[in-house]
Amino acid sequence: MTDQKPSWYILGAGAMGCLWAAYWRLSDFPITLITPTPRSSSFLELARRTSTNREETQRIKIRTITLEELAQSSLRIDHLLVATKAQHTRDAITKIKGNIAPQATVLILQNGMGSKELPQLLPSQYLVTAITTDGAYRTDKLSVVHAGKGHTHIGADPHFLNLLPSDYLELSSCTNIDFRQWEKLTLNCAINGLTVIHHCKNGDLLKIPQARKQLAAVCQEIATIADALGLSFVVNGLIEQVENTLKNTSDNYSSMYQDINNGRTTEIDYINGYLVAEANKLGISCPVNQAIINDIKQRERMAK
Ligand SMILES: NC(=O)c1ccc[n+]([C@@H]2O[C@H](COP(=O)([O-])OP(=O)(O)OC[C@H]3O[C@@H](n4cnc5c(N)ncnc54)[C@H](OP(=O)(O)O)[C@@H]3O)[C@@H](O)[C@H]2O)c1
């Protein structure tokens, strides 16, 4: 049975990469986690709530390989999941490009619009975008907590789902992945930067009067840009969508908040940065989004 399952490599052994790796192993799919540096264990720890609402931690055996070992080997990748942060993807893929088969299937699981750069890097491969509302975080390099159960839209026809286990993750195929990508992008543009600026959990943005004003202003600007780009359907009721997201994820720290707090670079160029670049092409200025970008960039510089 296992022989018929595709062998997936996972680039980006972070929260999402480890989460998918863990569930794929539980479904008996052969997977290999590609790590930037060697890992001290060959077990992943997955903490989650089961279908019967019990909290459970499982140790799951996995195979890992470092980027360097892979690049120096003659291993050929036919199925690759990319779960790096957008700003690291180009560098990571470039290192192992020689191992990725020309006709490989590459599934990109990311926020932001980094996937738009990938056709240049992988011109002959079959690229599929996935957008998820699952939430996960790592407690160490090989321990992951599935913090919020969500849904993943896969931008391919339904046959594609046969390549993926679906016992634990909720997946559906979707013909309008651009819409889903823009929908997530606009929410991330409105929320992530402000959680950094106000140094708070998602839900706190609704409690801080200054943050509420900024949320209204950024949503207004996003709606204007989306309108000009012919995407007004994406931002119908954006402020309500943002408020609902903040309520549903009130105890979460955004990934941008976590990145800044841990002295890492953020995905800002692929979130607000992408939106502003698209707006600028049409001659639209975006002072609110630009101010958020400037603030985050300054914090990234200070953390170096
Ligand atoms: N976490 C969530 O709840 C969530 C939800 C929805 C969407 N997303 C999106 O999913 C994507 C992945 O997020 P994440 O939270 O999983 O990020 P993450 O925890 O920061 O994981 C990124 C992984 O990439 C690795 N990496 C960095 N540079 C690399 C390189 N040059 N080569 C190979 N690997 C490299 C990191 O290595 P180290 O192990 O050394 O740090 C880390 O393991 C992002 O686009 C994010 O916005 C995340």
What does the mean pLDDT of the chain come to?
A: 95
Q: What are the residue ranges of helices labelled H in the chain? A: 15-26, 67-72, 86-96, 118-121, 177-197, 209-228, 238-248, 255-261, 272-281, 287-303
Structure tokens belonging to residue 133: 């509302």
Structure tokens belonging to residue 114: 């980094």
- Homologous superfamily (CATH) of 2-175 is NAD(P)-binding Rossmann-like Domain (3.40.50.720)
Average pLDDT over residues 37-56: 90
pLDDT in tens, 86-95: 999 999 999 9
**Domains 2-175 and 179-303 fall in the same CATH topology:** no
pLDDT at 304: 77
Band of residue 54 on the pLDDT scale cut at 50, 70, 90: confident
Q: What is the residue whose two structure tokens read 């490009």?
A: 97
Burial 45-72 (b: 16+ CB within 10 A, else e): bbbbeeeeeeeeeeebebebbebeebbe
Tell me how far CA of residue 226 lies from CA of 5, 187, 197, in angstroms.
41, 13, 24
Tell me how far CA of residue 92 lies from CA of 10, 17, 39, 218, in angstroms.
11, 14, 17, 32
Does ligand 1 come within 6 angstroms of the Cβ of 36?
A: yes
289 HSE (CA, 13 A, CB side): 29
Q: What is the DSSP letter of 105?
A: E
pLDDT in tens, 182-216: 999 999 999 999 999 999 999 999 999 999 999 99
Least confident of 10-14, 52-56, 238-242, 270-274: 52-56
So which residues are the catalytic ones? Answer: 184
Testing ligand 1's pocket by substitution, the residue of 110, 115, 255 carrying the most ligand atoms inside 8 A of its CB is 255
Tell me how far CA of residue 30 lies from CA of 80, 198, 232, 241, in angstroms.
12, 43, 42, 38
- Between strands 8-11 and 100-109, the pairing is unpaired
Does ligand 1 come within 6 angstroms of the Cβ of 267?
A: yes
Average pLDDT over residues 48-57: 88
Q: At residue 33, does pLDDT exceed 50?
A: yes
Band of residue 3 on the pLDDT scale cut at 50, 70, 90: low
pLDDT at 64: 96
Dihedral class, residue 275 (left if φ above 0, else alpha if ψ from -120 to 50, else beta): alpha
Domain spanning 179-303, CATH class: mainly alpha
Contact 15, 110 (CB under 8 A): no
Report how far ligand 1's centroid is from the alpha carbon of 158 (Å).
Answer: 27
Report how far ligand 1's centroid is from the alpha carbon of 49 (Å).
Answer: 22
Spell out the domain ranges in the chain: 2-175, 179-303
pLDDT at 2: 44
pLDDT in tens, 136-160: 999 999 999 999 899 999 999 999 9
> What is the reported pTM?
0.95
Q: What residues form DSSP beta bridges with 56? A: 48
Does ligand 1 come within 6 angstroms of the Cβ of 92?
A: yes
Does ligand 1 come within 6 angstroms of the Cβ of 110?
A: yes
Amino acid present at 233 = F
Nearest residue to 197 via CA among 225, 181, 224, 218: 218
